[in-house]
Chain A
Amino acid sequence: MTESAPPPQQNPPLRRGRTSPTGPVAFVWDAVLMGWRWLARMRTALYLLLALAVLSIVATGVPQEPNVPSTVAAWRAGESGPGVVVSQVLDAVGAFDVYGSAIFLAVLLALYISLTACLIPRIKAWVRLVRRSQPPIVRHLGAQDERTSFVTDHSPEQVRASAVRVLAQRRWRVRRHDGDGADRRPAQVAAEKGLWAREGGSLVFHLSFYVLLAAIVVGQLLTFEGQRGVVEGDPGFRDTAVSYWSYSPGRWFGESDHDGWRMELEEFHVDWVRDPLAPGAGQPTVFRSDVQITPVDGEPFAAVVDSNQPLNLDGTRITQLDWGYAPRVVVEVDGEVLHDTFLTPVLADGGFYRGAVKAPAAEPDLGLDVFLYPYAPDGEDGRPVPTGAPWADAPLLVFEQYRGDLRLGATQQTINELDVAALDSDGFGALRLGQSIEVEGVTISFPELRRWVGFQVSSRPQVPYLLLGSGLLVLGLLGSLYAYRRRLWVVTMEDPAAARTLVTVAGRAFQRPEAFEQEFEDLVTELMAATSATPSPTDPDEGTPNAPRTAETSRWSDHGPRPARAAVPTAVLPDNADAVPDGGVRLPVRPDDDRGTHRRT
């Protein structure tokens, strides 16, 4: 009901048909042409969008290696998920990394080729439209949606000048036709609007995807992202390629692109709603890091990284990603300190933090699987009762000791994981803060508890361009949905006997006719004011602007055929009635109106 008709195009000039060549080259060329035409179809584009949707559903259901590598590893090993065989199939089709898979890239490429194939003819047509189109001059106003007329003492020339002024002020494209009716086209002002903006908006909307794609692709090359955990009061880290725990630079991001500042975490603030009866009990209320930044050649300064306020250092963004408790664990064997650092365990399901101590200096290797319960107060029997509460009022460190081969460097393991394949369990222990314990000849102490924060450092030069693309997308969308195409004519007829001018205004709405009615009335009112006119006396029944139109006639009109708003006032017609053979007294028939196609189904 409200779609735009495709922009009118002239029929292409007839070309002499060429004799089609034969042979393998022609066969390939024909195949390419066929493929291009297939891609240019809207239906194909919709299928490709559907394929994209299906792929992203797959990526939601199947764990993705770039996001959760440990889960994917567990699926592959058959420890969780549907089993080894299914995982092998998933691996073969690239389902563990959908957004990096060949299928995804192929669909995306096809979608962009399809978009291009769709857009090239549309852009051509639009440029032709903008360069050539003019508001059409009518011979008679027999078939327009809106029509009204009035009488004025101004001369026809004055009326047309006023109409041009009023319409141009309202941003209509205006074309003035000062004829005497001899060419069967009465003197008039023809105006049009929305023709460029609607299709143009749609084109901008679609072209913005190229901006987004370019920004994403080039951004992938220029971007850099690294993660690093920092313990409170620790020396921190320097912004160099080697100091990040995980480091993913774009192809064009070199080591020299790092700024080289040093960052220390002075304090991490975190708190919760501790009252179990208060609303939102257990919810955190603050996550904030007080940090100190030391530029390469400058004085250190204090800064804050908050949940929604990342720290911005010359385009490099520092964000808090994660945090946890950092227990200091000291391991001694025969008075020799084998391990004395802060662990950075991560929160696991169940409200405890899990980490690992790895001491390859021991003989054989020593490993501790560490569980930290931040709030495990002593129960009535004097034994600690672990709770899920996150505040560290009664921290309890539980560990299992392993001896054997840590297989460091032999297998992939994170700093918080032990590879227990070549390790043997060698006792358990539980420690309060400040305590130490001896397990199988190894002294383990827990002297200090701090917190650590996982920071993400990222540099994304593409973000402004992504914003530009998004802005174009929204602008184009607004244009393509809310620019309505309208045409308007102001026809002036001189009445020599009465020395006055009869003005007929007619309009046509290609979209949203019900919204046009008000606009049309406003326009006519303004035009009448500009020409100090009175409503036409010859036309009492016609919806003159001053006569209130009842809601029934104007608002219910799209129910069926309009009530026959019958005749054009005869006075509007040129004196020589032959000029308009049908006298303009036709019922509204709109052969090319797209609104009509659905109305009567």
Chain B
Amino acid sequence: MGRTDVRDRGRLARRVATVLAVLGIVAHVAHEIVRGLAQGRLPLGNMFEVTSLMALVGVVVGLGYLHFVRRRPELDGFVLLGGALVLGMAMLMYAEPGPLMPILDTWWRPFHVSLLVSGMGIFAAAFIFNALFLLRDTAELSVARSRSRSAGGSTVGAAYIGDVSDGAAADTRDAAVTPAAADGPESDPDDERDRAELAAYHRALRAGISPVKLAVGTFLGTSLVSWVWLTTAETLTAGLGRFLTVNLTMVAAALLARWFVPFLPSTATMDGIAHRTTAFAFVLWTVGTIAGAMWAEVSWGRFWGWDPKETGAFLTWIAYAGYLHARATRGVKGRGAAWIGVAAFIVLMGTYLIANYVVVGLHSYADL
């Protein structure tokens, strides 16, 4: 099998994937428009509509950011995967289209809700990059550790580790994932050996993440949020079904991401993307929450009343403020910050579901 064949197949796969992704986005946009037209209002009136739009915003902003700002098209798949997961969650809360409660029928609603929904979608994208960062970082750390063990402290080994964890290996890896970079001269005599080494490195990276630990961790981490379905469904069986669906889907996504770990860009890149997206979503969240307080003052006669949803927005804000502060302080970087980002997303999703399903509050009407 020649190298050209591989590349052609790669190009074909990329083209098919691009077409599918564009079709998916177009279909989603069409769905939102048709639903909006059918109801005669913006589709932001209940949890299904909000979550569905959250997926769309996350995917569109994520892809736009990756393509036009970061130029990292190879990360598209993860954004789409995240969008598909959020959309799947939306389908668990499907609601027929219908008219709006009069109290929601005001320009405040699109203003307040769309800001927060965009924030949620972009927080979701940030979560994906935090998770990918942690995966890649774990894999690299593990590879470095095993190399240093086998090198037995010899200086030669140490130099080799330095190469691998520094620029040289990074360059090789980049070459492997950059279509443009692969267009170079092909008659390299070391080509065969390089590729074998690269494949070995990929295997080592994958082996660096224990699949059992990853699966169990993802299952438990998802359970921190998905228990809501377990407790609020009509029957225990239905609840257990939803709970397991959500958890096992997340586990499958994590294992899929593990397979892709060798093809991820450098940890610094993903760390940076996670930080930028979180910062942007944080601004949206802040403005959206303030807009909510202003709407509450108009509509309910008080600007803040510690309603469950308000508490949830506040908690999420605190969690992400903690993330940004951790990033700004010199002590916590990389893994520490990424874990805080993951925890903040758990807070976001947890408060979103709990405030809607478990605790009754002023926001409870219209399933929103």
Mark A residues whose CB is within 8 Å of B: 1-4, 42-43, 45-46, 49-50, 52-53, 56-57, 59-61, 64, 67, 99, 225, 273, 279-281, 283-288, 306-310, 317, 319, 321, 456, 458, 460, 463, 466-467, 470, 473-474, 477-478, 481, 514-515, 551-552, 555-556, 558-561, 597-601
Excluding A42-B329, A287-B103, A559-B269, 6 further A-B contacts by CB distance (< 8 Å) are A3-B328, A284-B101, A308-B106, A310-B301, A555-B71, A601-B165
Pairwise interchain contact B297-A3, C-beta atoms closer than 8 A: no
Pairwise interchain contact A284-B102, C-beta atoms closer than 8 A: yes
Q: Nearest CB to that of A462 among chain B residues?
A: B303
Measured CB to CB, the closest approach of chain A to B267, in angstroms, equals 7
Pairwise interchain contact A279-B98, C-beta atoms closer than 8 A: yes
B residues less than 8 Å from A558 (CB atoms):
266, 268-269, 272
Pairwise interchain contact B325-A42, C-beta atoms closer than 8 A: yes
Query: What mask results when residues 100 to 114 of chain B are scored 1 for a CB within 8 Å of chain A, else 0?
Result: 111101101000000
Pairwise interchain contact A458-B302, C-beta atoms closer than 8 A: yes
Supposing A46-B325, A470-B290 touch, asked if A2 and B275 sit within 8 A by C-beta, the answer is yes
Q: How far is it, in angstroms, between the C-alpha of A307 and the C-alpha of B312 when the chains are bound?
A: 24
Does B195 have its Cβ within 8 Å of any Cβ on chain A?
no
Query: What mask results when residues 294 to 311 of chain B are scored 1 for a CB within 8 Å of chain A, else 0?
Result: 110111111101101001
Q: How far is it, in angstroms, between the C-alpha of A481 and the C-alpha of B287 when the chains are bound?
A: 14
Q: How far is it, in angstroms, between the C-alpha of A464 and the C-alpha of B92 when the chains are bound?
A: 41
Measured CB to CB, the closest approach of chain B to A515, in angstroms, equals 8
B residues less than 8 Å from A561 (CB atoms):
167
Q: How far is it, in angstroms, between the C-alpha of A281 and the C-alpha of B267 when the chains are bound?
A: 52
Query: What mask results when residues 347 to 361 of chain B are scored 1 for a CB within 8 Å of chain A, else 0?
Result: 000000010000100
A residues less than 8 Å from B106 (CB atoms):
307-308
Q: How far is it, in angstroms, between the C-alpha of A459 and the C-alpha of B239 when the chains are bound?
A: 46
Q: How far is it, in angstroms, between the C-alpha of A552 and the C-alpha of B171 when the chains are bound?
A: 12
Pairwise interchain contact A307-B314, C-beta atoms closer than 8 A: no
Q: How far is it, in angstroms, between the C-alpha of A556 and the C-alpha of B167 when the chains are bound?
A: 12
B residues less than 8 Å from A43 (CB atoms):
329, 331
Pairwise interchain contact B171-A560, C-beta atoms closer than 8 A: yes
In the complex, which residues 292-342 of chain B have their Cβ closer than 8 Å to any Cβ of chain A? 293-295, 297-303, 305-306, 308, 311-312, 314-315, 318-319, 321-322, 324-331, 333-334
Find A551's partner among B71, B271, B299, B311 (CB 8 Å cutoff): B71
Q: How far is it, in angstroms, between the C-alpha of A307 and the C-alpha of B105 when the chains are bound?
A: 9
Q: Which of B49-57, B173-181, B204-212, B247-255 contacts A (4 or more CB under 8 A)?
A: B173-181
A residues less than 8 Å from B363 (CB atoms):
none
**How big is chain B's contact interface, by range?**
35 or more
Q: Nearest CB to that of A601 among chain B residues?
A: B334
Q: Nearest CB to that of B96 among chain A residues?
A: A279
Q: Which of B21-29, B122-130, B278-286 contacts A (4 or more CB under 8 A)?
A: B278-286
In the complex, which residues 14-45 of chain B have their Cβ closer than 8 Å to any Cβ of chain A? 39
B residues less than 8 Å from A225 (CB atoms):
301-302
Does B276 have its Cβ within 8 Å of any Cβ on chain A?
yes
B residues less than 8 Å from A285 (CB atoms):
99, 102
Pairwise interchain contact B98-A283, C-beta atoms closer than 8 A: yes
Pairwise interchain contact A552-B105, C-beta atoms closer than 8 A: no
Does B191 have its Cβ within 8 Å of any Cβ on chain A?
no
Pairwise interchain contact A552-B301, C-beta atoms closer than 8 A: no
Q: How far is it, in angstroms, between the C-alpha of A94 and the C-alpha of B268 when the chains are bound?
A: 46
B residues less than 8 Å from A45 (CB atoms):
325
Q: How far is it, in angstroms, between the C-alpha of A575 and the C-alpha of B165 when the chains are bound?
A: 42
Find A280's partner among B98, B108, B137, B174 (CB 8 Å cutoff): B98
Pairwise interchain contact B101-A474, C-beta atoms closer than 8 A: no
Pairwise interchain contact B170-A559, C-beta atoms closer than 8 A: yes
Which of A309, A474, A555, A560 counts the most chain B CB atoms within 10 A? Answer: A560
Contact sample, A vs B, 21 pairs, CB 8 Å cutoff: A2-B275, A57-B311, A60-B354, A61-B359, A225-B302, A281-B98, A283-B99, A463-B303, A474-B287, A474-B290, A477-B286, A478-B283, A481-B279, A556-B174, A558-B268, A558-B269, A560-B168, A560-B266, A597-B333, A598-B333, A601-B268
Measured CB to CB, the closest approach of chain B to A68, in angstroms, equals 10
Pairwise interchain contact B286-A474, C-beta atoms closer than 8 A: yes
B residues less than 8 Å from A467 (CB atoms):
294
Does B77 have its Cβ within 8 Å of any Cβ on chain A?
no
Pairwise interchain contact A458-B301, C-beta atoms closer than 8 A: yes
A residues less than 8 Å from B101 (CB atoms):
283-284
Pairwise interchain contact B325-A552, C-beta atoms closer than 8 A: no
Q: How far is it, in angstroms, between the C-alpha of A559 and the C-alpha of B283 when the chains are bound?
A: 28
B residues less than 8 Å from A281 (CB atoms):
98
Supposing A279-B97, A598-B268 touch, asked if A1 and B306 sit within 8 A by C-beta, the answer is no
Pairwise interchain contact A551-B180, C-beta atoms closer than 8 A: yes
Does B265 have its Cβ within 8 Å of any Cβ on chain A?
yes
Measured CB to CB, the closest approach of chain A to B99, in angstroms, equals 4
Q: Nearest CB to that of B350 among chain A residues?
A: A57
A residues less than 8 Å from B276 (CB atoms):
2
B residues less than 8 Å from A53 (CB atoms):
314-315, 318-319
Q: How far is it, in angstroms, between the C-alpha of A503 and the C-alpha of B311 when the chains are bound?
A: 58
Pairwise interchain contact A280-B283, C-beta atoms closer than 8 A: no
A residues less than 8 Å from B366 (CB atoms):
283
B residues less than 8 Å from A463 (CB atoms):
297, 303
Measured CB to CB, the closest approach of chain B to A508, in angstroms, equals 18
